[in-house]
Amino acid sequence: MKQQIYLDYAATTPVYPEIIEIMAQSLSFTGTFGNPASSGHSFGKQAKQQVEQARQDVATLIGATSDEIIWTSGATESNNLALKGVTERYSHLGKHIITSQIEHKAILDSCAKLETLGFDVTYLKPEPNTGIITPESVQNAIRPDTILISLMMVNNEIGTITDIKSIGSLAKQNNIFFHVDAAQAAGKLPIDVHTLNIDLLSLSAHKVYGPKGIGALYVNHQKTFEIEPQIHGGGHEQGCRSGTLATHQIVGMGEAFKIARVNLETEQKRLKRLQHKLFDGLNRLTEIVLNGEPNQSVSNYLNLSFTEDHSFILINAIKTIAAVSSGSACNSGKAGASHVLLAIGRTEHTANNAIRFSFGKYTTEDDIDHLLHYLKYVKENTNVIVFN
């Protein structure tokens, strides 16, 4: 059987071959396998140099300085560290948090935990159909005891972009900590954390063609504050996150973020053409509804609900030929409609008939043509079977 077409880049991306090669060099005895914290010999010093170069490469992509980057195991840990680290340290300033109904589960579950500890969380409702979180809704939710605002830059299911710059200005004006989950934004959108007035920003390597199991948290050093560590045992990473650093994964993330700086704009244009091609082809073939805002979204995602009778036949056909998602990868093992689609006003039936297509580096026009050709064949033959 021919390998499926991979259209699930939002879940994870393959690691570039050149990155795999660089990572391997940090594992062997002839490479930089040493512990970066072992500063008393050359093995440790060489590993530390690699770690610090990667730190600089990650910082450069988001307009930060290298000392503002804290290594973590991924965006989920970064989100936990940001939310719990700020609220635990500064709960005496206020116990109100603002987030939205369509955040990643790492945010929603962390907020649920904080609620059990006495924090009050406002979950902003997005605009119907589009999933946009407006600055006005944030402004209206701010209270005297608001300590933290946490919103994602790009939604991981529908690809909508949040107006982070306007919300960052609101947070700064009101002296509120501002955290941004940028796991799905890095490498897709230009990011300058200081211009956007972001205090904390979560990043992941495996969404940007780097390895799984490594991420980072940006912590704004232009603003004097500290976060309470959630992992103890050695005081690594400026005391924010203890544990021996995984040099090979860090090097992989650094290289991935360095590569991401190249051709960002041209790649978005290429993927936009593929996105339009698939949407137009499916729209001619069957009845679909777009989930998201086409004019305020990244090109990498296309989330559609299939509304025609017997749509399950086409949905199953899509899943036969292509690797796609029915929601976020973090929920793939759980039954039920997407919380994001329900929040933007979709019925449970419409949400359950949704597919998230996500495109990336290795997606080609031939892939889209092949998928559409196969679905047309299925559709034509299904009509004969179902209606005759």
**Are the beta carbons of 32 and 162 closer than 8 angstroms?**
no
How far is it, in rounded angstroms, from Cα 353 to Cα 361?
27
Nearest to 325 by CA among 5, 12, 11: 11
- Is 330 known to be catalytic? yes
**Are the beta carbons of 305 and 286 closer than 8 angstroms?**
no
**Are the beta carbons of 162 and 188 closer than 8 angstroms?**
no
* Strand-pair category, 215-219 with 200-204: antiparallel
Nearest to 82 by CA among 178, 192, 204: 178
Phi, psi values for residue 181, rounded to 5°: -85, 110
Q: What is the DSSP string of 141-199?
A: H--TTEEEEEEESB-TTT-BBP-HHHHHHHHHHTT-EEEEE-TTTTTTS---TTTTT-S
- Of 141, 231, 330, 342, which one is the catalytic site residue? 330
Nearest to 58 by CA among 190, 198, 216, 185: 216
Give me the residue label for tokens 């940007």: 208
Question: What sign has the CA pseudo-torsion 278, 284, 286, 288?
Answer: positive
CA angle, residues 211, 213, 218, in degrees to nearest 5: 95
* Strand-pair category, 5-6 with 322-323: parallel
Helix (H, G, I), strand (E, B) or coil at 117: coil
**Are the beta carbons of 100 and 131 closer than 8 angstroms?**
no
How far is it, in rounded angstroms, from Cα 4 to Cα 106?
29
**Are the beta carbons of 106 and 203 closer than 8 angstroms?**
no
**Are the beta carbons of 55 and 206 closer than 8 angstroms?**
no
**Are the beta carbons of 376 and 285 closer than 8 angstroms?**
yes
So which residues are the catalytic ones? 330
